[in-house]
């Protein structure tokens, strides 16, 4: 999805530490195959994440600090992007589009992050933001709008998470054993029975087994 492309571009930008203007210019050329609205969305998200890096890093770094055992460093740019969209684009996106974005990035880890974000919005995150911007500005521009969105987004995240667990509970994938045509297993040769001893023939039985794998949710 184009959101994943924005995440990947942001990851490259942070790794290269190059000039934003030059990076956006090069990225715009690479995105020529995209429709104009999609291309603009991707570049706007990347630019916004850079512009508000301190605000977003305050949230994401706190999240990693508390949950470093449970989350992958490779998902850092995804958490930054979803944090940016939550703070700056919810009104434009709407719940349905936001829901689709969550699904595309992975419901389990996004549910984990969003639960952290709204649970600690006040006072922890707000205090971090107050150290970057004016207290009244933070309250008006971010805290009040996010608190207004919190019940609806929290309900959406819980609903998506529950639906994903129900689906996984009903999905059972059977993985058949493959035939090894290049290296067939040798059949065991029965020992010869002495002629002087007459025994009843032993009927050999072969057993086959199938293995069912159940998908388990993971954050990493």
Q: Is 197 a domain residue?
A: no
The C-alpha atoms of residue 97 and residue 155 are separated, in whole angstroms, by: 15
Residue 156 near residue 93, CB atoms below 8 Å: no
Total number of domains constituting the chain? 1
Q: Is 189 a domain residue?
A: no
Per-residue pLDDT of the chain (220 residues), as tens digits, is 789 999 999 998 877 767 777 777 888 877 888 888 999 999 999 999 999 999 999 999 999 999 989 999 999 999 999 999 999 999 999 999 999 999 999 999 999 999 999 999 999 999 999 999 999 999 999 999 999 999 999 999 999 999 888 877 765 554 544 433 344 444 444 444 444 454 444 443 443 343 333 334 444 3
**pTM over cut 0.85:** no
Give 190's DSSP letter.
P
**Segments forming the whole domain that contains residue 66:** 2-170
> Which residues are CB-neighbours of 1 under 8 A, at least 6 positions away?
101, 104
Write out the two tokens for 57.
């890093």
Residue the block writes with tokens 């890096």: 53
Q: What share of the chain is helix, strand, coil (3-state, %, to 5)?
A: 65, 5, 30
Helix (H, G, I), strand (E, B) or coil at 67: helix
Overall residue count recorded for the chain in this entry: 220
Question: How many other CB atoms are there within 10 angstroms of residue 202's CB atom?
Answer: 8
């Amino acid at each position: 999805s184009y959101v994943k492309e924005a995440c990947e571009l942001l990851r490259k930008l942070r790794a290269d530490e190059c000039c934003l203007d030059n990076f956006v210019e090069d990225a715009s050329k690479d995105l020529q195959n995209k429709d104009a609205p999609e291309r603009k969305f991707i570049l706007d998200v990347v630019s916004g994440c850079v512009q508000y890096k301190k605000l977003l890093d305050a949230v994401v770094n706190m999240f990693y600090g508390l949950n470093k055992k449970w989350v992958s460093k490779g998902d850092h740019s995804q958490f930054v992007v979803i944090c940016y969209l939550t703070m700056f684009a919810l009104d434009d996106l709407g719940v349905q589009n936001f829901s689709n974005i969550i699904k595309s990035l992975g419901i389990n880890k996004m549910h984990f992050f969003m639960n952290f974000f709204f649970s600690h919005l006040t006072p922890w995150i707000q205090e971090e933001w107050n150290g970057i911007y004016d207290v009244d500005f933070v309250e008006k521009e971010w805290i009040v709008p996010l608190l207004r969105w919190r019940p609806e987004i929290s309900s959406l995240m819980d609903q998506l998470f529950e639906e994903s667990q129900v689906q996984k509970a009903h999905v059972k994938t059977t993985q058949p054993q493959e035939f090894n045509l290049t290296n067939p297993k040798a059949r065991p040769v029965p020992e010869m029975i002495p002629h002087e001893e007459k025994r009843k023939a032993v009927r050999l039985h072969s057993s086959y087994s199938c293995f069912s794998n159940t998908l388990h949710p993971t954050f990493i």
